[in-house]
Structure 1
Amino acid sequence: MSPDHSDPTPEPTPEPTQPPWEQMLRALLGDRADEAIAEMRARGIDPEALGAAGTLPTDPAAMQQVLAQVQSLFASGGDEPVNWQMAHDLARQQASVGGDPSLTPARTRQVLDALTVAELWLDAATDLPPATTPGRAWSRAEWVEATLPTWRTLTEPVASSLSTALVDALGGELPELGAGDDLDEQMRALGLPGGALPGGLAPGQLLRRLGSAVFGLQVGQAAGTLARDVFGTTDIGLPLLEVPAPVLVASNVDAFAEGLDAPVDEVRLFLALREAAATRLFTHVPWLRAHLLALVETYAREITIDVEQLEQAVGSIDPTDAEALQSALSSGVFAPQTTPAQRAALERLETALALVEGWVDEVSAAAALAHLPHSVALREMIRRRRAAGGPAEQTFATLVGLELRPRRLREAAALWAHIERTEGDPAARDAVWDHPDLMPTAEDLDDPAGYARRRSAAADESADLDKALAEILGEEPPQDPSTP
């Protein structure tokens, strides 16, 4: 029998499977999902990029758990900006990826000994005394538990802004959703029971809960990812503990030391110096932590979008036309507005972060130089790691909408070195932290040599103002202590 050469009927090409995050959004929003996705991207939350970078779980079982949590969120009636239970659970799960065993007594002792030695060496490099809390050796899970309260402070302002923007821009376009709508079938297709949303859910409430779920996923995945990367609690330039304490995440320190020319004990000591120095600064400069967090909050709370422009753009675009939405997005229609207050807060924040990092860099390097043979190479490696924007900086940029890379770290370190050199005393350098008004500015980073001159001129202006006020009030003008 001759072979049958007739062409077989071609099988239909299967449609590409949507990623889990898109399934979830489209199940909840239907045709409006395209606009919601575009809005999230405009607000710095790109679900596709987050999924590709591992910010959303790709394991089917993990995603099923997340979807079940989303169902619970919508049924619970909560409208907080971030679903913190979801964030906590996912952060713990992600922190344990690759293993996170409890520290043995021997490993704990290695870390505590390194922190103790670091404190002794720092006594010769700075007049700021050690922190009032003892050093700690943590697992990644312990880092997550201890730092989540500060992540709440940092992320809720921008989460609230996002929720408001979504409601203002899209809330009026969504129908009332009830348990009898097509949503039931879509939720069942995802493996969830029908009736996941209570009947009569208002559109604004739906969007707020959606934003809460998205941020819960994002914060949880980011915190868990950071837990596998950070060395302590000061890596991003902000103190992540309300009561500062020197901490090292033992497994991350060991992982960083692998492949380096320096012995792991030396690397541990160098990182302990940096952590202990930063903790001294945040402990004994009481206004500094609140100052930095307030600048972040000012920036985040000022995030706005032009809702009118957005509504006009959305009204002129077919929501099923992804190419049209992409074109609108690239044209800047959905871009957040940058207010003058934001720009001012960002400049102050970048300068303050550079000053913190520069001080830690200079003091820890001075303390290490006489004791660690590889201290110069390790200092340069950490500088490059921070300047390149590692996972810590990238994660924070995703969460809060701004980058915390100390762009002017080298200039700040040079400024602190100049102040110590000209004053001839580390105490004079450290005294600059006594009051926010004494802090160097961006101009001082540009011209360290002129810092003392500008500070003297500012002091003279202040004295003249005090004298003028005294004359107006009929009081005795303050005496110059240098006058006999």
Structure 2
Amino acid sequence: MSNFGFGFNNSGDDSDDERRGNNNEGNNNNDGSGNNGAGGPGNFGGGPFGFLFGGPGGTGSGMSSGNLGDLINQFGSMLSGFGTDMNSGDGETVNYSMAERIARQNIGQAAGPKSEDTQAVAESVRLAELWLDEATTLPAGATGSVAFGPTQWLEETMPTWKRIITPLAEKLGDASLSAMPEEMRGQLGPVESIMKQVNSMNFGAQLGNTLGELAKGVVLSTQWGMPLATGRTAAIATAHLDELSKKLGAGNRETLIYLAAREAAHHRLFQHVPWLTERLILDVEEFAAGLTIDTSKLDEAAREFNPEMMNDPAAMQEMMNRFQSQEIQPEVVSSNAHARQRLETSLSLVEGWVDYVVGSALGSRVPEAAMIGAAWQSFRTNGSPAMDNLTKTLGISLSAPKAAEAAELWRRLEEAVGTEKRDAIWDHADFLPVAEDLDNPAAFIGHVTFDADEMKDFNPISEIERLERELNQDNSGEDDRQIGSAGDDENEGDNKDGE
């Protein structure tokens, strides 16, 4: 993996992918599924519950006979099929080694950039930066550009995915155990630690499939309004340019310029609003802190559980089979739902700002800009099945549900106070619009306009001089009062002597 973000590894992307794939061929089935991980490609829906109910990626279907001791031994034998993956997670809640390996297998021989693509991306980014200079006061944030492939995207974004996924998976892993009936938890004993390992592998397998699917379809390093890759390189995936151009209804050159403008605009925002990235990640972590699992359907189904079943694997298997045929999958909820709303609002503000700024920069120069922008909004809204599965399981979305409303707010704000004051809203998190402002921007714009009018004639030097004069007058008055008080004391002393 590059230590400097995108841009230093592109020329050997395909050959490196092939070598890595060859190195891993001997372990293709170590996840025990025979299908590159739980749930099939792109399925992140099994969560931590597959172990319990034998669902996608689960293991319940392998237990069918013997007493509890035999059950544990059989379970241990079954786990031996996982090979080194059982020990590759280093106690992590998510087995990221497995996730990355399965993602690479999922990517396979997906097309990477052509040799001439990086030059085309560089020219498009340079042109977009010139036009963006007229649409925003934020200076250029990208220091380089590159055409990237799926494997490079996976490598560069994996550290950020770990920051996003780990706190969510930790809470879900704990909740998956606590969601079991109390009688069953009391009987777990030595199986509990093994279950945690299986949960880690299950998460890793499903995450690997999801990231592999995302990698094959991603077109920008900032596609979801968050800088998933570190560094300051504008990165565009050019392998699907033909397909994306058809979806956007434009030519390849116009589409590439539009993508370059979006990528460059994101970099301007994230490089010059340094608190923004951390705020987005912290919103995810705060949401995760309040995660619980709604097990009402599971509790209802588990009422038939009898502790004596633990000594009758056939009865246990029959109950699990019944569970599989019912819609009892627990639902992820969070007591910190406000954190999810704040994250979605922040992502909407980011995407809305980029939509409007890019539209302003390209509007008079690229005739198809408005059409491409509208098509992009549809493309973004429809999302991808892999991201939808990730959202369903983790309970949090990286979508920007009110990007259109945010773009309209930024447009109206610019008309009211100008480009400079519009962009100054990003100076501090407390200045940003909140969720209610996106539905009713008039009050927010009126407040900003009022503040701008109040500050229009404000002269900080004159204000300081005025305060100094007032302070001097107060001190002078205090001195006069002290002198008068001293004179009064003197006269009082003379009167006493006369008496």
| Both structures adopt the same fold (TM-score exceeding 0.5) | yes
* Residues 1:417 and 2:417 are matched in the alignment: no
| Contact 2:160/2:229, CA 8 A, preserved across alignment | yes
What does residue range 56-71 of structure 1 map to in structure 2 within 5 Å? 70-71=82-83
Percent identity between the two aligned chains: 32
Matches within 5 A, 1:79-478: 79-97=91-109, 99-101=110-112, 103-170=113-180, 172=185, 202-258=190-246, 261-305=249-293, 313-317=301-305, 319=316, 320-321=318-319, 324-325=322-323, 329-330=327-328, 334-339=330-335, 341=336, 343-391=337-385, 393-398=387-392, 400-423=394-417, 425-455=418-448
**Pairs aligned (count):** 385
Which residue identity does 1:85 align to in structure 2? S
Letter in 1 for 2:369: S
SS of 2:138's equivalent?
Answer: coil
TM-score, reference length from structure 2: 0.69
Residue by residue, what CA displacement relative to the aligned partner does 1:71-100 show, whole Å, maximum 9, x if unpaired?
Answer: 212255832111111111121222235x33
Report the residue type matching 2:85 in the other structure.
L
Secondary structure in structure 2 of the residue aligned to 1:129: coil
| CA distance in 2: counterparts of 1:452 and 1:435, whole angstroms | 16
SS at match of 1:136: strand
Quote the residue 1:7 is aligned against: none
Paired residues of 2:210 and 2:387 also in contact (CA < 8 A) = no
CA distance in 1, matches of 2:157, 2:165: 12
Deviations 1:148-207 (A, max 9, x none): 11110111112112221233345736666xxxxxxxxxxxxxxxxxxxxxxxxx322111
Cα contact 2:221–2:228 (8 A) shared by 1: yes
Q: Larger Cα Rg: Structure 1 or Structure 2? A: 2
Conserved in 1, the CA contact under 8 Å of 2:37 and 2:206?
Answer: no
Residue 305 of structure 1 aligns to a residue whose secondary structure is strand
Q: Secondary structure at the match of 1:81?
A: coil
Unpaired stretches in structure 1, ≥5 consecutive residues = 1-18, 26-32, 49-66, 177-201, 461-475, 480-484
For residue 73 of structure 1, the aligned residue among 64, 85, 109 is 85
Provide the residue aligned with 2:65 in structure 1.
none
How far did 1:399 drift?
A: 5.8
CA distance in 1, matches of 2:144, 2:132: 15
Q: Residues 240 and 367 of structure 1: is their aligned pair in 2 closer, same or farther, counting only changes over 3 Å?
A: same
Which residue identity does 2:116 align to in structure 1? A
CA distance 1:459–1:38, shift in 2 (3 Å): farther
Deviation per residue, 1:287-306 (Å, 9 max, x gap):
00000111111112321136
The CA RMSD over aligned residues, in Å, is: 3.6
Asked if 2 retains the 8 angstrom alpha-carbon contact of 1:126 and 1:363, the reply is: yes
Q: Structure 1 263/327 Cα, relative in aligned 2: closer, same or farther at 3 Å? A: closer
Give runs of aligned pairs for residues 19-58 of structure 1, distance below 5 A: 20=33, 36-37=49-50
Give me the whole-angstrom Cα distance separating, in 2, the residues matched to 1:121 and 1:268: 15
Assess, with a 3 A threshold, how the Cα gap between structure 1 residues 83 and 326 changes in structure 2: closer, same or farther. closer
Name 2:485's counterpart in structure 1: none
For each residue in 1:33-68, what CA deviation from the matched residue of structure 2 results, as whole angstroms up to 9, or x when unmatched?
9x9439689xxx9659xxxxxxxxxxxxxxxxxx98
CA contact (8 A) 2:351 2:400 kept: yes
Structure 2: segments with no counterpart, 5+ residues:
1-31, 39-45, 59-78, 306-314, 454-466, 471-499
Q: Is 1:126–1:427's contact at 8 Å kept on the other side of the alignment?
A: yes
Residues 68 and 258 of structure 1, relative CA distance in 2, 3 Å threshold: farther
1:127/1:115 CA distance change after superposition, 3 Å: same
Instruction: Give TM-score scaled by structure 1 length.
Output: 0.71
Q: Cα–Cα, structure 1 residues 123 and 224, in superposed 2: closer, same or farther, change >3 Å?
A: same
Aligned amino acid, residue 130 of structure 2: L
Against the structure 1 CA distance between its residues 132 and 111, is the aligned structure 2 distance closer, same or farther, given a 3 Å change threshold? closer
